[in-house]
Amino acid sequence: MSRWIITFIIFSIVICFLEFYAFQALKTITKNKIIRLVWIVAAIAIYAYFLYVIYITPRSAGQTNSFQLAAGFMLTFLIPKLLLVIIMFGEDVFRVFRKGYSWVTPGETAVFESRRIFIAKIALGLAAIPFASFIYGIVQGRYNYKVLKYQLTFNDLPDAFDGFKITQISDIHSGSFTNKEKIQYGVDLINQQESDLMLFTGDLVNNMATEMDDWIDVFKTLDAPFGKFSVLGNHDYGDYVEWDTPEDKVKNFQAVKDLHPKIGFDLLLDEHRYIEKDGQRLALIGVENWGKGFNQAGNLAKASSEVGKDEFKILMTHDPSHWEYKVKADDFNYHLTLSGHTHGLQMGIEIPGWFRWSPSQYIYKQWAGLYQEFGRYINVNRGFGYHAFPGRVGIWPEVTVIELKKGTQNV
């Protein structure tokens, strides 16, 4: 059997197990046949739609809006049911002990039955929370743009750049967009920050250059007096599509690179630029994508070859694993690194100043926000757009504004 068939069989077994246990909770609290039937029909419809979309979507099309919608529906129904399974499976473990206990004290059985009904109600109530959250994330959360502001102080920042403001955006993923009015609102919000410099840290498209055709006029309105600069992300290389010929992939990659000047961005391909102000300057360095374990196209040494070691440096690199494994301990001293890529997995919990969690943190050490080590900073932008799952739950789309300050740096 092929790897795909084996994967499908395993996936089907897991889904059946999940659905069986989730249905037990419903059966425990209601005997209404209509409600049970609606539950079953909805589950079948969700899986059938997902399989249908996979079947009709050629590999050459990448992740279409239809695929994202189907995946979004499936996750919206699966994640709450997973919570149900965890609770109800735990209850079944308890029932094993109950069975033994009932042999000793038969009169206690009714007490345990009441307990199971209570647990089932609690489980369904808790499952309703992620269900409602995912619905909100698809309808509104993906457009719930947040402006996050940081003030960073450096001992060796050139005096002319004291108070200099940088806006960072990342992971536009234009192939996922469906609502021009909402995207225009996000772009206007970026311009409202009135920063001196604008930096985009990769993933302009999902896979194909044509995904940006309807959005060029929107994004070319972005403005910054000291310029707009960008780098490539892993999705910009077209690696996740099955191309008809190698030449088609090369042609698409060139078209993606050509998009950047069309929206007014200077694309840095293992290059640097100097930003000058009042006779002083800082170095802006941009590398191609470098990710731990895949697509290590970026060449940091080449990008920095004409930059002085003692100059103030800002590095743009799409994947934060680059900072973790190659950049942060480099004695060339990259003062500030800007990345994206993770999206914070587009789902999690963040209570500013108190608590934050996302499954993304089990994959990336630096997964969202600002980090500091060795006196050097990295900001991991949560992304402007969305990909795969057509929504955001708790991890909102981000516009980052960083103000550079001259002074004593806290290390």
Q: Spell out the per-residue pLDDT of the chain, length 411, in tens.
A: 567 778 778 888 888 888 888 888 888 888 888 988 999 999 999 999 998 898 888 877 777 888 899 999 999 999 998 888 888 777 667 666 666 655 555 555 555 567 677 887 888 888 899 999 999 999 999 999 999 999 999 999 999 999 999 999 999 999 999 999 999 999 999 999 999 999 999 999 999 999 999 999 999 999 999 999 999 999 999 999 989 999 999 999 999 999 999 999 999 999 999 999 999 999 999 999 999 887 789 999 999 999 999 999 999 999 999 999 999 999 999 999 999 999 999 999 998 888 999 999 999 999 999 999 988 999 999 999 999 999 999 999 999 999 999 988 766
pLDDT given for residue 61 in this prediction = 77
Does some domain include residue 191? yes
Q: How many domains does the chain contain in total?
A: 2
- Supply the pLDDT for residue 11: 80
- Tens-place pLDDT, residues 268-323: 999 999 999 999 999 999 999 999 887 789 999 999 999 999 999 999 999 999 99
Q: Does any domain span residue 88?
A: yes
Q: Are strands 349-351 and 355-357 parallel, antiparallel or unpaired?
A: antiparallel
Q: Is 280 within a domain?
A: yes
Please choose, from the candidates 205, 171, 86, the residue with its C-alpha nearest in 3D space to the C-alpha of residue 395: 171
Same domain, 104 and 15: yes
- Predicted local distance difference test score (pLDDT) of residue 110: 52
**Continuous segment of H or E residues that includes residue 16:** helix 3-29
My answer on whether 227 and 267 are in the same domain is yes
Does residue 165 share a domain with residue 77?
no
Task: Examine residue 40 and state whether it is found in any structural domain, yes or no.
Answer: yes
Q: Domain span at residue 119?
A: 3-139
Q: Given this model, what pLDDT does residue 174 score?
A: 97
Domain boundary among 105, 139, 173: 139
273 and 317 in a common domain: yes
- Residues 113, 116: Cα–Cα separation, whole Å: 5
Neighbours of 123 (CB within 10 A): 26
State how far the Cα of 159 lies from the Cα of 278, in Å rounded to an integer.
9
Give the C-alpha separation, 254 to 249, whole Å.
Answer: 9
Q: Specify the CATH number for the domain of residue 391.
A: 3.60.21.10
Give the three-class secondary structure for 245.
Answer: coil
User: Among the three residues 96, 114, 139, which one is the final residue of a domain in this structure?
Assistant: 139
Residues 318 and 171 in one domain: yes
Q: Name the DSSP letter for residue 207.
A: S
In the listed set 94, 117, 139, which residue is the last one of a domain according to the structure?
A: 139
Specify whether 308 is located in the same domain as 368. yes
Same domain, 150 and 132: no
Q: What is the pTM of this model?
A: 0.90
Q: Are 132 and 160 found together in one domain? A: no
Judgement on whether residues 232 and 259 belong to the same structural domain of the protein: yes
pLDDT at 15: 86
Instruction: Confirm whether 306 is domain-assigned.
Output: yes
Residue 411 lies in a domain: no
Structure token digits, residue 178: 């469906």
Same-domain pairing of 121 and 185: no
Q: Give the model confidence (pLDDT) of 111-143 as tens digits.
A: 556 767 788 788 888 889 999 999 999 999 999
Residues 17 and 108 in one domain: yes
Q: Where are the alpha helices (DSSP H) in 221-315?
A: 246-262, 300-303
Determine contact, residues 372/128, Cβ cutoff 8 Å.
Answer: no
Shared domain for 357 and 219, answered yes or no, is yes
Rounded Cα–Cα distance for residues 341 and 381 (Å) = 8
